[in-house]
Chains A and B, each alone.
Chain A
C-alpha cells in the first residue's frame, strides 16, 4: 500500500555551539551528520515538510513540570530552554493544525529528568516531553496523552513525573534494566495508587532486533493505545537501540525506526538519546522524518546495513515472544495484584536518586493522597548532597477540594519548617509559588 503524504513539521535545533563538556557524547557534533544527511537528501525542499524556527521555553513552562532547586536559572542553560522550546514549537504547529505531525530534532535530551531537579542526570536536566505535554494541556485543553518512549534506556524521568497521572499513558520500550543504566523499568512498575496501569514498562532482552520491536509494537503497544484512546500520541524517539550505538547492546536499524513510526503514527516525535552520531543518527532521523511525512522509506538503510546488520537471533526471538505473551496477560488481561487503598489515605514512598553527570545524591520522601476524584495531592521532601533540603507540593489539574485542602495544609506546615525552600505548584490554577 503506498503511503499517503502528510504535512510534517520539523524543528531542528542541533545547538552547534553547546556541549556538556568537550568530549562528552552530548556535544556540538552530535547532530552535525544528521543535518548533513537531511540536507543532502533534500528533505527540506519537499512541499509537505515545513521547517520551524525554535524559541526558548520560559521558566513558567518549566514550572508546570519541575521543581528546580534552588531555581530554574541554576539548573538550566539557554540550550536546555531552547531544546524544550523546540518541543513547544512542534506542539503548537500540530495543535494549530499547520501540520499533521511534527518532529522536534533537538538536543540536549530530557527523559531522565525527574520532577525535582538538582542537576544533570543521564545527560538530562529538563524533561522536554513533559514540559511540552503540560504546555499542550494548558494551552489547548487536551487531557489524555500517551507517551511512547523508544529510547534504549528506561525513561525513568518521564515515568516519575507521570507516575501518579491517570491521564498520561507512559509506555517505555528499553533494554532490560538489569543490563544497562538507569537499572529501572520493570513490568511491575505500573503507576502510583491513583494511576495504576497508566505506566507500562517493556524491558527487552539485549540484541532485540527489527522483528522483536515489530512484535512488541503490534502485540503490546498498539493494543494499549487502542484501549487508552489518547487524544495525542508522543514518541520519545531515542535512537540508541541502533546496532551501532556505542553505549547500548541492541540490534535495531534505521528502517526499523522508520517502520515503527509509520505504524505508531505519533502526532509529535521528540529526539532523546542516541550517540552513534555518524553511523546511526543520520539514517534513523531521515527514516523517521520520511515515515512521519508518509514517504516511501523502503530505500532507507545504513550504507553498511547489508554487511553489518545481523537479523535477530532465534533465542532472542524466543525470549521476546515469551515476554510479549506474559506482558499481554498483565497489561491487557489485567492479571496483576493491585494493592488496595482507601480514598483519603496518604501513602508514603522513599527513594534515592543519583545524578550521574553532576555527581549529586538525593534522598526523597514522597506523599500521595489516594483519591478517586483527581490525580491526588502530592508532596515531595527532597534532601540533596548539595545541602539543599526542600519540600515541594503539587496540586493536580482539576484537583478535588479534599486534595486541594490537603496540599495547601502541607505547604503551610512546610513553610513553617526548616526547609531551605518550599514550593507550591498549583496546576489547577496554573500558578507556582516559593516560600
Chain B
C-alpha cells in the first residue's frame, strides 16, 4: 500500500503481559510499521526498545502524536506495590465505614452530609488533625480524603484538605475522582490515586525522558480503560485512571480497522486469555459502574469487557469420555517450539494453519489427546480448535446475558427493551486467522479478521481520542449546583433550570477535556443522563432537582478513516 511520505505519523504502543506491540500509522489510516518485542519486568526498558524498533530511522519531526497503553498502574495494584497512603474518611450513619478500610492507615472521623448535601453533623477538626498527625508519624507521605455524599457537597473534603495542608499539601480528594455515587468505591478509587501518585510520576518522568532523548515532542497520551486517552502530564492527578487499558486498546483497534456494523462482538485472542468487548452503533459499550482493579472496586469508567482464561497457549486436558478442557493455566510455549505439552497453537500448526516451530513435534505431542478422544491426530487438532471456539462462545453467551439482564429504571426503557445481540464478529490477536472458521461456526455469525489484526491493540491506542465525563447536580431548594469533576460548587437561584444546567455542563466538559490534554475539535458529546425532577412539599413545587451526565464517548481521532 503506498504510504504518502509527507503525511505525519502516529506512534501507538500497547504493553501486554508477554509482549509489547508498537505501530506507526499515518493519519490517513495506513500502517507504516509494526513491531513486537517481549515485555520485560523493566517497563521503561521495554518501552525504549519498542519505540526504537518501530521508529527505525523515521525522523522525530514526522511524529505528530504518541499514545501508550501501559501496565504500570495495573501491575503496581495487582502485585501489591502501592505506595503507603493514609485515608481520612467521614461517613455518618449507614453501612459501617470500617468495612471499607484500605491501606495501612485508615481513619474514620466524625462528620456527616446527607443525600442532598446538607450537613447533618459537622466535621471534627480535632479528629482530622489527630488522624493526619498519626498518618505522618507512620512515615506515610500520601493521603486521601473522602466523605460520604461529597459529590453532592464537597465542603467536608475541602475543609479537611485545608486543615491538613501543612502536613499533606496534595491530598487526593474523593469528589474529584468521579461524580457518581458510591462511597466505598470513592474510598477505594481515592486511595489508589493517592497510593499510585509517586510511582506513576516516576514512570511519567521516565517515559518523558525516553521521548525527549529521541527528540519526540509531539502531543503524548496514555490510554485509559474507557477506550479514551489522557495527556501524559495531565494524567498525574489521577494515575488510577490509566490502569488496565489493554482490553480497551483492542476494542478501539477493532473500531479503527473494521466497519463494525450494528452490534459487533470483538474478540482479542491472546496467549492465555481472550478479551471480549462490544461495539453498539459505532461506539464501544461502557461498563455502568466502574472497573475492578485487583481487589478494588472503583469508580473509574471503563469499557464493558470480559476476559476468559483461554488463549493460543492454554493448557489442553483430554480425558476419555469427557469434553476437552482448555485453560486457564499455561504449561509453557507450544510443543512445536519446545514446550512440554500441546496448547491450541500446536493444533493450528498440525493443521497447517500456522507455520511455526517443528510440525512433527506438535503432531507427536497431540497424540495422547487424539488417543483420549479416539480420533486421528488431524481430527483431534480440529476438535481442539472447535472446543476452544465453543468455550469462548459459552463465555460470550454468559456475558451477553449479564448485559441484557441489567436493571433499568424508567417505563420507557422497560418498554423499549433494547437487547444487545451481535450480528457480526471481529477477531483480533495472534491466532485470529486460524480461529476464524471454528468461531464462525460456534457463533453462527459472519466473522472478519481485519488487516493488522495482530497489532490492532497498538493501533487502537494510537488513534483514540481524549475522553472525559462530568456530572452535574443542581438542587434549587438547597440553592447549589455542583460539578465535582470540574471543581464547580456554586450558588444558584430558584430559576436555574435544565437549559442553564446543560450550558454549564457543556462548558465544564469542555474545560475538563482541555484539562485532560484534549483539543476542542475532539469533542463529540453524549448526554447519558438528563433529568429534572420537581421537588414537592405538600402538593406544591418548591424547586428542581437536576441531574446531568455528559461525556465524550470513546472514539477515534478526527481524520482517521472509518472502514466501510
Chain A residues near B (Cβ < 8 Å)? 11-18, 22-25, 27-29, 32-33, 35-37, 39-43, 45, 51-56, 78-79, 82, 246, 278, 282-283, 286, 290, 295-296, 299-305
Q: Is the Cβ of B96 less than 8 Å from the Cβ of A40? A: no
Q: Is the Cβ of A45 less than 8 Å from the Cβ of B184? A: yes
Q: Is B541 an interface residue (CB 8 A)?
A: yes
Q: Is the Cβ of A36 less than 8 Å from the Cβ of B181? A: yes
Residue total for B at the interface (Cβ-Cβ under 8 A)? 42
Q: Which residues of B contact A82 (CB under 8 A)?
A: 411, 414
**A42 vs B91: C-alpha distance when bound (angstroms):** 13
**A40 vs B116: C-alpha distance when bound (angstroms):** 12
**A81 vs B50: C-alpha distance when bound (angstroms):** 59
Q: Which residues of A contact B564 (CB under 8 A)?
A: none
Q: Is B202 an interface residue (CB 8 A)?
A: no
Q: Is B538 an interface residue (CB 8 A)?
A: yes
Q: Is B33 an interface residue (CB 8 A)?
A: no
Q: Which residues of B contact A295 (CB under 8 A)?
A: 95
- Name which residue of chain A comes closest to B185, CB basis: A42
Q: Is B405 an interface residue (CB 8 A)?
A: yes
Interface string of B113-124 (1 = CB under 8 A from A): 011100011000
**A14 vs B410: C-alpha distance when bound (angstroms):** 7
Q: Which residues of A contact B19 (CB under 8 A)?
A: none
Q: Is the Cβ of A15 less than 8 Å from the Cβ of B411? A: yes
Q: Is the Cβ of A246 less than 8 Å from the Cβ of B538? A: yes
**A1 vs B410: C-alpha distance when bound (angstroms):** 40
Q: Is B535 an interface residue (CB 8 A)?
A: yes
Q: Which residues of B contact A278 (CB under 8 A)?
A: 115-116
Min CB distance A5 to B, Å, is 12
Q: Which residues of B contact A283 (CB under 8 A)?
A: 93
Interface residues of B in 369-415 (CB under 8 A from A): 405-412, 414-415
**A299 vs B95: C-alpha distance when bound (angstroms):** 7
Residue in B115, B408, B409 whose CB lies within 8 Å of A36: B115
Interface residues of B in 512-562 (CB under 8 A from A): 531, 533-536, 538-541, 545
Min CB distance B548 to A, Å, is 14
Q: Which residues of B contact A299 (CB under 8 A)?
A: 93-96
Min CB distance B120 to A, Å, is 3
**A300 vs B94: C-alpha distance when bound (angstroms):** 4
Min CB distance A96 to B, Å, is 14
Q: Is B109 an interface residue (CB 8 A)?
A: no
Q: Is the Cβ of B533 less than 8 Å from the Cβ of A303? A: no
Q: Is B112 an interface residue (CB 8 A)?
A: yes
**A182 vs B406: C-alpha distance when bound (angstroms):** 38
Q: Is the Cβ of B115 less than 8 Å from the Cβ of A40? A: yes
Min CB distance A288 to B, Å, is 13
**A36 vs B487: C-alpha distance when bound (angstroms):** 21
**A54 with B407, Cβ < 8 A, contacts A23-B541, A299-B94 known:** yes
**A32 with B148, Cβ < 8 A, contacts A14-B409, A45-B297 known:** no
**A40 with B182, Cβ < 8 A, contacts A27-B536, A303-B92 known:** yes
Min CB distance B248 to A, Å, is 22
Q: Which residues of B contact A32 (CB under 8 A)?
A: 533, 545
Min CB distance B177 to A, Å, is 14
Min CB distance B408 to A, Å, is 6
Report 10 cross-chain contacts, Cβ distance below 8 Å, ordered by A residue.
A13-B409, A32-B545, A33-B115, A35-B409, A39-B182, A40-B94, A40-B115, A290-B95, A299-B93, A299-B95
Q: Is the Cβ of B533 less than 8 Å from the Cβ of A42? A: no
Q: Is the Cβ of A54 less than 8 Å from the Cβ of B545? A: no
**A41 vs B534: C-alpha distance when bound (angstroms):** 24
**A22 with B94, Cβ < 8 A, contacts A37-B115, A51-B407 known:** no
Interface residues of B in 285-301 (CB under 8 A from A): 289, 297
B92, B95, B96, B121 — which one has the most chain A CB atoms within 10 A of its CB?
B95
Q: Is B68 an interface residue (CB 8 A)?
A: no
Q: Which residues of B contact A13 (CB under 8 A)?
A: 409, 414
Min CB distance B194 to A, Å, is 19
- Name which residue of chain A comes closest to B112, CB basis: A303
**A295 vs B183: C-alpha distance when bound (angstroms):** 17
Q: Is the Cβ of B407 less than 8 Å from the Cβ of A12? A: yes
Q: Is the Cβ of B412 less than 8 Å from the Cβ of A41? A: no
Q: Is B221 an interface residue (CB 8 A)?
A: no
Q: A-B pairs with the 6 shortest C-beta distances?
A: A303-B120, A42-B184, A29-B533, A39-B181, A40-B181, A17-B410
**A224 vs B170: C-alpha distance when bound (angstroms):** 61
Interface string of B152-182 (1 = CB under 8 A from A): 0000000000000000000000000000111
- Name which residue of chain B comes closest to A278, CB basis: B116
Q: Is the Cβ of B406 less than 8 Å from the Cβ of A53? A: yes
**A13 vs B415: C-alpha distance when bound (angstroms):** 13
Min CB distance A92 to B, Å, is 13
Interface string of B181-205 (1 = CB under 8 A from A): 1111100000000000000000000
**A45 vs B290: C-alpha distance when bound (angstroms):** 11
Q: Which residues of A contact B114 (CB under 8 A)?
A: 303
**A17 vs B410: C-alpha distance when bound (angstroms):** 6
Residue in B95, B100, B407, B414 whose CB lies within 8 Å of A52: B407
- Name which residue of chain B comes closest to A277, CB basis: B536
**A35 vs B535: C-alpha distance when bound (angstroms):** 16
Q: Is the Cβ of A40 less than 8 Å from the Cβ of B183? A: yes
**A79 vs B410: C-alpha distance when bound (angstroms):** 9
**A43 vs B96: C-alpha distance when bound (angstroms):** 12
Interface residues of B in 400-450 (CB under 8 A from A): 405-412, 414-415
- Name which residue of chain A comes closest to B93, CB basis: A301
Q: Which residues of B contact A301 (CB under 8 A)?
A: 93
- Name which residue of chain A comes closest to B100, CB basis: A42
